[in-house]
Every structure is written in structure tokens, then in C-alpha cells.
Structure 1
Amino acid sequence: MGVNLNFVIFFAAVVFVNCGNDFDFNLPAQHVKYFLFRRPDIAEKCRADKNCPYNLMAQNLDECWGYEPNCNFGKRSYSRKTIKCSKKAPDIEKSRNAFYYNADFGLIKKQNASLVELCSPVNLGDASLRCSESFEYCYAKNIFFNFANLKHDKNGKKYRSDIIGKGDVGGRCKFHERKFKNLALDAYDGYLQSWAAEMKYFQRFPSFQLNDSYCDVIFDQPTIVIKLDAGINMYHHFCDFINLYLSQHLNGSFHQDVDIILWDTDASPYFDIFRETWLAFTTKPLIDLQDFDGKRVCFREAMFPVLARKVFGLYYNMPMPDYCRASGLVQAFSHHLIHRLQLKQNGPLREKLRVTYLVRSSQYRIIMNTNEIVKRLKADPQFSVTVAKYTLAIPVLEQYQMSHNTDIFMSIHGAGLTHMFFLPDWAVVFELYHCGDPECYRDLATLRGLKFFGWEDETKVQYQEKDVKNPKFTNFYLDADEVMRIVHLAAEHVWSNKLFRQAHARLHSKPKPEL
């Protein structure tokens, strides 16, 4: 059965409308006021409804994410409170602004500024299409895709960009040909960089009707169509998730009553060892593109989000701005996942710091003297040590929960360090050895706003094999004294961290006796 949606025009884009309970946002409590500022239509409903749980909050909304048209990157913005810049910066304000626009909510401001209306409705039920620069993000209504060329049984190769051609995508609308040509002229069409390979074929079809006569499949509910990076690598896959979160900000809706189609052209279904993470974005089963082989699929409302490897994207192709750290966007993403996946913080402990030592289960990048290091860690009375091996045998939500209850997270260079998205804000990341790539996870920790420690002395690490061309393909012996020295520096940071001390006091301080 189709659902009649009342579409709301706001922020230069049509946004998904909340279905069901208008005030059941399922957002972190600290995010609600920013969301209401972003969505004045919902805020107005809340002010008019005394049963709205945020009625009082909605009366005076003066704080914003920072990308809204009526909100600049000033004192009222979310990121102004999170971004920290070094006093070594030649111009702190200039550095802060550069960080904001290249690594924070300013990315959304730039995407929104580049949105172009390519197809406009003339009559009720007509199509519409808006896309940002290079077709990096698109939002559409009442359009179709024809997947006659998918033929995944014969051509089931990953990262295909030949399944949509002339006549395979479009709708009934007023087509702005000059705008379309200008946008397509400079568009790059890398599979995980944009939607140019598909949207460049968009056409006006005057006779198109979104009904069973024209469509084999109709999506009446809001739909997210997304191309994906590797589902077996946490670092790469979380590029998908964080850019989807960015796109939801651009779209203006975080509702979970949405269909999600995984645009993967491989012959086999998309293999995703982090599949439970999608619970933060939808309550519905995921849908594989190959289910539509040979069919014409119609969408009443669809979002095509920013993709994982966008040029100068977040965070895969990002040139890290100097002098500043702690992206409000990345922090908000982390808090959003922790809230939606219902991870519970059980700490801090009264007298110990929780250390998680993540062990790889692969052939390479093994620390050969792990037992010696773990023994030293466990002998230190200030530490409660967990040796973790995140394999398929451990449900991914349990892995996230373990990481969330960590004060010092340590592991050798590898995708497992991406678990820093689930660490508490006071935690420390210690990359035991960088394997020739010292920037990757240091930069991610910089974005996340976590203190990062890396290996400092190359004379205190031994390769298992001599003359190794690529240090990512060998194993190592680390000087245990040097490991402990760095861990103790990490511990000092956690013990003195303001957020840690506040959380510790809330959990363990005894109430003062009444007089």
C-alpha cells in the first residue's frame, strides 16, 4: 500500500518527512535542539503540541549545527564547542575555519551551496531531481530506473558503471538541459566518487506515470540508494556510514522508516560483516540491487548519498587541515551510532583504567611478543586489561560494546583501530606500530577528537624478516619497556581528562550526608 507523504521544502532541498510519531526522533538527547533548529517545520509542530516531549526546548532554539542558512560557524554552532586548535597556528581563527569547511559541518554547507535543480515538477505527481557538484549527492521524487542491463548472472563484476544507459533513468518534469550539461561537463564518475555514471543519462519522459503500468516495482516509502566500499574492512565500510550520516544532515531527516538499496553490481550478494550497523539507519531489511535484474523500478522519494571515496571526502580522501582537531561532525556521528545501537557505558571503574588490547587474527602485522606485553600490562595495578580478538564468532554489536567500555584502546596498524568511533570521548588510542603508514589512524583520531599515541622510536621495533619491501606484510617484535612507557603516558592523559573525571565523579562520588 502506498503512503501519502507531505513533502516539506526547506534548506534548498526536499527532505524525507518523519512518518508515524512526529516527535520520536531517536536521537542523542544533546542533538535534539540542533535537529529542531534544522527543521523549523517540526519545531513549530512541537511548540503547538503540549504533549511534545521537547515543547519547552522548542520555545527558544538558538543553537545550530552551523551549516544552516541562518546560522554561521559562530558561538551558537555545535562545532564551535568541539574544535580545538593549537596555539602554534599562525592564525588560529583562519585554521579553525579551514578545519570546519574541510573536515566538519562546513562540508555540508559546501554541498548545499552547489545543489542544482535539474528537473522541476509542473503538475502534481511530476518528477524532480536535485544534485550537487559532480552528482556527488542527489535527491529525487517520482523517478524510475530501468535495470534491463544489469544481467548480474552474466556480468556480475564489482564496481560496474555500465548498467544505466540512455533511456534507463528519468521522469515526467520540466528538464533544465543547460544546467544539466553544465553540471555534467566537469563531473567525475568514479564508481565510489559520484552518481555521474548513472545520472548523466537522466531524461524527461512526458508520458511516464508512476504506476503498475510503467513500473515493475514501486517504492512508496522514502528510499536510500547507496553504493558501498568493502564490507569486510571496517575502515573502508565506515566511510560509507559517515558519508551517509553527512547526507542525512544535508537531507534533513534521520528517520529509520526508510528502505535502503545496496547498489552493488557483484554477482554475489554484498558481504557485510558489520551489517548490524545499519540498524542506526533503518528498521527494515536491506535490499540488494540484483533483486531488480531486468526490472523497471520506480521511486516516489529517493536519496543518493555522498559516497565513500568522494574527492576530498570524509574521511578517505581528506587532506587533513593543520593545527586543529575534533570535528563536530565526526563526534556527532560517533554519538549518533552509540545512541542508535544502544551501547551502554558501564564505566569508568573506581580505581582502574580499562585497557583493550586488540589482537589481529590475520597472517601479517602480528606482534610476536604479545604475551610479554600483556603480562606487563596485567601486572600494573592501575589497569584492567582485556585481550580482544574481534572475529566473526563475536557479534559485531558485542564488539562495539566492548570498545565503548574502554579507556585505552591499543592495537597495531589495521582496520580494527576504526573502533575508535565507539570509544568514549575521554579515551586514548595507541597505535602500537604504524607499519609505514603513520598518518592514517592518527588523522582519524584527530577527526574524532581523541588523544592519539603512536610508536616513536624505530630502533625499538624489530621486523620478523629482513629486507621487507612493505612493512604491512610482515610481523614485529616491540620493545616492551617502550610499550609500557607510552601506555603510562596514555594513562596520565585519561586520569587527568576532564570528561573522564566528570564521568567518574557521577558514578563513584558518595552523596554528601544531609544535616
Structure 2
Amino acid sequence: MKMNVVINLLYLVTSLTIIDTITIQDLNIPPEHVPYVFTNFPSLAEACKNDPSCSYKSALIGNVCWGYENDCNKTNSYHVRPRCPGDHKGWVKTKAAQYDTFFTQADFGYVKEQISDLMVMCEATYPHDTSLECSKYLRFCRGRKLMLNFTSLVGRGNNLRYKMDILGPGQIGGYCNFYSERLQKEAEHMSALQSWAPEFVNFKATTQRPITDGLCDVIIDKPTYIMKLDATVNMYHHFCDFFNLYASLHVNSTHPSMFSRDNHVLIWETFNYDSAFKDAFKAFTINPIWDLKEFRGKVVCFKNVVFPLLPRMIFGLYYNTPLIYGCERSGLFHAFAKHILHSLNVKLQIRKNDKIRVTLLSRGTKYRVIQNEKEIVDALSANPEYEVQRVVYDRSVPFTKQLEITHNTDIFIGMHGAGLTHLLFLPDWAAVFEVYNCEDPNCYQDLSRLRGLKYVTWEVKTKLTQEDEGHGPGGVSHAKFTNYWFDVAEFARLVAVCADHVRRRTDFRDYVDASLLSRAHEEL
């Protein structure tokens, strides 16, 4: 207990510059999240109260919490909470246990579990010493005055990705009381994208203080996030990176600067980072993205460094999430979506009518193409209650523009594929129509229920036609590697199911009414 108290006090001291100057206006927070930050950090609330220019005074009223704080009451937790209307299918014995399981698996309860699992791996005796703290299986770690030695990267080329030997023995460490056996015990998930074990098994305590005793070629003053990335060409996998980075902000919630973007991101590979989704990093940093080439051949000391949760952890989020049946709607996923949309300035548009906005995501790929797509779009467009658009989300459409289209969609339609990850950024009232799941039934259905959205998929297999048996890599036959024709009337029926859901939503009706009232006032 004493060690945890010591290290947590040390983490309150990040950068004096940040602590002295930070205000709620400086932080990257959606307005609806401000009350939760005020509760966690009363100093920010007091500063706003005493600042005549603070525009968040209305958020000072109330006692709310995210859901991972020790004294957080469920009724005061984040306003989007899980629902468990369905049967739990034998996982647990009671409804309360079903709810609690989902909350721990996929909501802010997951953050709470990571925080409660934090262990001191290397204890600082004095504030200017090194300290290291990690969660179970070394999924998340954070350190102060940490030294990383990249001299052995010289001559290894620029194709280092998913390598578990970036560091060797003693090439990560610092001056502290090191609990080696404790760290080694948590290293059993040894994998490139499941744990930080490949790096931290090399940790050694130094006999000198790295920064004050001159062991560093480079000293990084600003907080730094060191990340291992999944497949950056695929939205589903890359957004698992961004989601876990966001969740890690909450795990690291010892100071309001957790939401500051004046930090650094270092990607744990030597490839130049590029992705069609790279704008999402703007939600986390205002600085250029680094890779390991930045420090090749140098000993680098980080005053404050975080090793975030990883994209492919065993029982992680959202890849490999073992979701209990019957529950839906995670506040953590909702907060993540709001964080991204706010940071990239993506807003809901004022409606000019009460028509349902239908967006069909067309695939410009070899497989999973809807062969009679034009006939389907024409049939839907003939319905006077719909506004229908067909879109192709490729590099010709900036990612922020893609998000703008998605966020202003009521029914989002697409074949099984990574583009359906856009569903994370739909409005709360929206419905997702995964036209055909291609024999992978849980992936986007689970993502939809994590986000709390209505989900529909093809029901009658006799009403679709498969081009052939599917020709995948290595000659494997699978439903993902072919194309399809769909019965137009059945397609329209399933869209109507989605439309009925949208129209029944009070928040949809309220937004349409407010839009029409606003337009009427403008015309006057």
C-alpha cells in the first residue's frame, strides 16, 4: 500500500509548466464531458468558477463521474450506461451480474480494472528518481525519468515492425528499487501486440540517475505515448489502436493534462507512418508523429512516458472482446466517439426536412461487391421518406469528410468489411444494416451493440445469390471472397425495419424538430 501511495503522488507531478497554466479551455474535451473532468479535478472547477471568461460554468453543477472512480455511484456515472434487455445464456445467474460483467468487459469498468491492477515495478525513493508502474500482464505501463537505449538499431534497416527484439537486456531502465520478480511474473503474454512484455523483460535498474547524471543523448520533456500499431490500412484494426489510446488516457487519469494534446506520440517501428485515417491522431496530439528512426543510435530519456493498452490483447478491447450475451451500449465507446468527433470538428447538420438519411457504403474492391447495387439504390431512392446516397470511402475522400457523412446518416448500409467501423461515429439514434455478414456474424454486430446502435443483417439466405463458392488466399473457399446479388424487395424491407427504429427514437424526433424550428426562424 505504501509503495502505491508513493508512486501515485509522484505521478501528480508531471510538468510544472502544464500544471501552472492548464485550464479547462486548454483541454481537448467535448463540452458534454466537462462535468466529469470537473469532478475528477476540483482545481479545474475552482479555476473556472473564479474565471469570468470561463464558458463552462453551467458544468460546475452536479456530482458526476466516469464510472471507474472508487467513490463513483452507478446513478452518477457517465450518462450513457449499458442496457441488458436480452438473455445472458448461462454466463451468469442474475441480471445484476450480467450488467456488471458487461460493464467490466466493455465499459468504464474495464478502465477501473486496469487501474486496480496497477503494480509498482520500480519504486522511486525521491521525486527525481525513476519510477515504473504497470497493469496485469504488462498491458499498460507508465514511467517517469525512464531511459531507453536505441543504439542497437543502427544498421537494422527501416523495416522493423512487430519485432520483439527492439530492445536488448539493460536497454530500458532507470534509477529505482526494481521489483524484478514481480515484473517477470506478469510477462506471460509475450507477444508483439498483446503486451509490453517483450520490452520490459529487458528492464534493469541503473546505478546512476539517467537524466541528472548525464546518461541521456536526448531528454524528452513533454509527456510521450509509445504505441505499437495494428494494420494501419484497415479501419477496423487501426481504430482499435485509437480506441485503446483513448482508454489509456483514462487509465492514466492522475492529472487533467491527460486530455492535453501538447504531447508526443512515438510509434514502435521504423516505417514512416502514413494512413488514410491519420487525422484521428489529431484527437490526441498537436505534434508530428515520431517513429523509431527519430532516435536511432541514441540513448533517450523520457520525463513522463505512457505505454498504452494494445490493440490485440487477450480479452482486450475491442478486438478479442468476449462480450456477454444480452447487453449493449458502452459509455466508454460512446465517449470515445464523442472525443474523436469533437477533436476533428465534425458536427450534426441542421435538417431541412424529416426524411431518413440513408447512406450505402459501396465497395471498390474485388470481393463482397453488391452486383445489383444500382437497382437497389434506385428502389430506395424512389421512397419519398428517404434521402439516399451511395458513397465510396477511399483516399479521394478526406477522412474528416467521411466522418461528416457518417455522422449525418440515420441508416448506414454496407457489406461485411472494415468500412463498417464507421458505425462508431453514427448519431445515437442510427441503425446499422450489415447487408451480409459473410459467415462472420459477431464482428460488426458486437461493434454495433458496443456503440448502442440498432443492428440488422440479411435474414433469408434463399433471397441472395452468391457468385461462386469464394476463392480466398491459398485456394480457401469462404463467403468473404466472392460477390452477391440481393432480392430488392427484401433489401427494402430490412431498410424499412431500420427506418422504423430511427423514427421511434425520441432523440431523432427532437433533433429534426429543432432543426426545422431553427430553419423557420432563419427564414423569418
TM-score, normalization: structure 1? 0.91
Does the CA-based 8 Å contact 2:87-2:325 persist in structure 1?
Answer: no
Q: Matches of residues 157-172 of structure 1 in structure 2 within 5 Å? A: 157-172=160-175
Q: 1:298 to 1:11 in 2, by over 3 A?
A: closer
Q: 1:139–1:327: structure 2 CA closer, same or farther, 3 Å change rule?
A: same
After superposition, the Cα gap between the structure-2 partners of 1:381 and 1:12, relative to the gap in structure 1 and judged at 3 Å, is farther
Match of 1:480 in 2: 488
Report the Cα distance in structure 2 between the residues aligned to 1:208 and 1:99, rounded to whole angstroms.
44
Q: Structure 1 residue 261 and structure 2 residue 266: aligned?
A: yes
Q: What is the Cα deviation at residue 379 of structure 1?
A: 1.0
Instruction: Give the whole-Å Cα distance in 1 for the aligned partners of 2:86 and 2:405.
Output: 35
Gaps of at least 5 residues in structure 1 are 1-7
Distance 1:15 1:55, change over 3 A: farther
Shift of 1:178: 4.2
Q: CA deviation at 1:348?
A: 4.0
Return the letter of the residue paired with 1:295: K
**C-alpha displacement at 1:125, in angstroms?**
1.8
2:380 paired residue number: 377
Question: Equivalent residue for 1:231?
Answer: 232
Residue 510 of structure 2 corresponds to which residue in structure 1? 502
**Is 2:410–2:427's contact at 8 Å kept on the other side of the alignment?**
yes
1:53-96 C-alpha deviation (Å, 9 max, x unpaired): 445643x5411111101114x211116x4211116456322211
- 8 Å Cα contact 2:124-2:177 kept in structure 1: yes
The aligned residue for residue 84 of structure 2 is 85
Structure 2 CA distance for aligned equivalents of residues 502 and 155 of structure 1: 53
CA contact (8 A) 1:14 1:139 kept: no
Distance 1:105 1:63 in 2: 14
| Alpha-carbon shift at residue 283 of structure 1 (Å) | 0.8
Amino acid at match of 2:81: T
Name the SS for the 1:228 alignment partner: coil
Q: How does 1:125-274 map to 2 (within 5 A)?
A: 125-151=128-154, 153-154=156-157, 156-184=159-187, 187-210=188-211, 213-252=214-253, 253-265=258-270, 268-274=271-277
What fraction of aligned residue pairs are identical, expressed as a percent?
A: 40
CA contact (8 A) 2:273 2:289 kept: no
Cα distance in 1 for residues equivalent to 2:9 and 2:464? 53
Q: Say if 2:82 and 2:328, in contact at 8 Å, map to a contact too.
A: yes
Q: 1:214 to 1:190 in 2, by over 3 A?
A: same
Alpha-carbon distance in structure 2 between the residues aligned to 1:182 and 1:86:
40
Contact (CA 8 Å) 2:130, 2:209: kept in 1 or not? no
2:75 maps to which residue?
Answer: 75
> Could you say if the C-alpha distance between residues 495 and 250 of structure 1 is closer, same or farther in structure 2, counting changes exceeding 3 Å?
same
TM-score, structure 2 normalization = 0.90
> CA separation of 1:466/1:127 partners in 2, compared to 1, >3 Å: closer, same or farther?
closer
In structure 2, give the amino acid aligned to 1:229. D
Q: Which amino acid aligns with 2:226?
A: V
What is aligned with 1:23? 24
Letter in 1 for 2:83: K
For 1:391 and 1:55, how far apart are their aligned partners in 2?
A: 42
What do residues 159-204 of structure 1 show as CA deviations (whole Å, max 9, x unaligned)? 10111111101111222334334434xx312111111110111111
User: 1:66-465, aligned counterparts within 5 Å?
Assistant: 66-72=67-73, 74-78=74-78, 81-86=80-85, 88=87, 91-151=94-154, 153-154=156-157, 156-184=159-187, 187-210=188-211, 213-252=214-253, 253-265=258-270, 268-465=271-468
**Is the 1:152–1:293 contact (alpha carbons within 8 Å) kept by the matching residues of 2?**
no
Question: Cα deviation per residue 1:435-493 (whole Å; 9 max; x = unaligned)?
Answer: 11111100000000010111111111111124761111111111111110100111111
TM superposition shift of 1:150: 2.5
Query: What residue number does 1:3 align with?
Result: none
Structure 2 gap segments, 5+ residues each: 1-5, 472-476
Alpha-carbon distance in 2 for matches of 1:47, 1:258: 27
Work out whether 1:37 is the aligned partner of 2:45: no
* Deviating more after overlay: 113-122 vs 323-332: 113-122
Separation in 1 of the partners of 2:304 and 2:341? 28
Displacement after TM superposition at 1:43 (Å):
3.4
Residues in 2 aligned to 1:152 and 1:493: alpha-carbon distance in whole angstroms: 59
Structure 2 CA distance, aligned partners of 1:383 and 1:256?
40
Following the alignment from structure 1 to structure 2, what is the Cα–Cα distance between the partners of residues 104 and 123?
Answer: 36
Please say which of residues 209-218 and 105-114 is displaced more in the overlay: 209-218
Q: Secondary structure at the match of 2:354?
A: coil
CA distance in 2, matches of 1:460, 1:397: 36
How far 1:320 moved relative to its partner?
1.2
- Once the two structures are overlaid, the 10-residue window that deviates more, 132-141 or 86-95, is 86-95
1:312-345: CA deviation from partner (whole Å, max 9, x where unpaired): 0111010111111000100110111111110021
Larger helix percent:
2
Q: By how many angstroms is 1:239 displaced?
A: 0.4
| Aligned mates of 2:143, 2:230 — CA distance in 1 | 23
- Match of 1:77, as an amino acid? S
Superposed CA RMSD in Å reads 2.3
Q: CA deviation at 1:153?
A: 4.4
| CA displacement at 1:115 relative to structure 2 | 0.4
Offset at 1:208? 3.2
Paired position in structure 1 for 2:64: 63
| Cα shift readout 1:23-76 (whole Å, capped 9, x = no counterpart) | 222311111111122223433444555554445643x5411111101114x211
Write the distance in 2 (CA, Å) between the matches of 1:264 and 1:249. Answer: 25
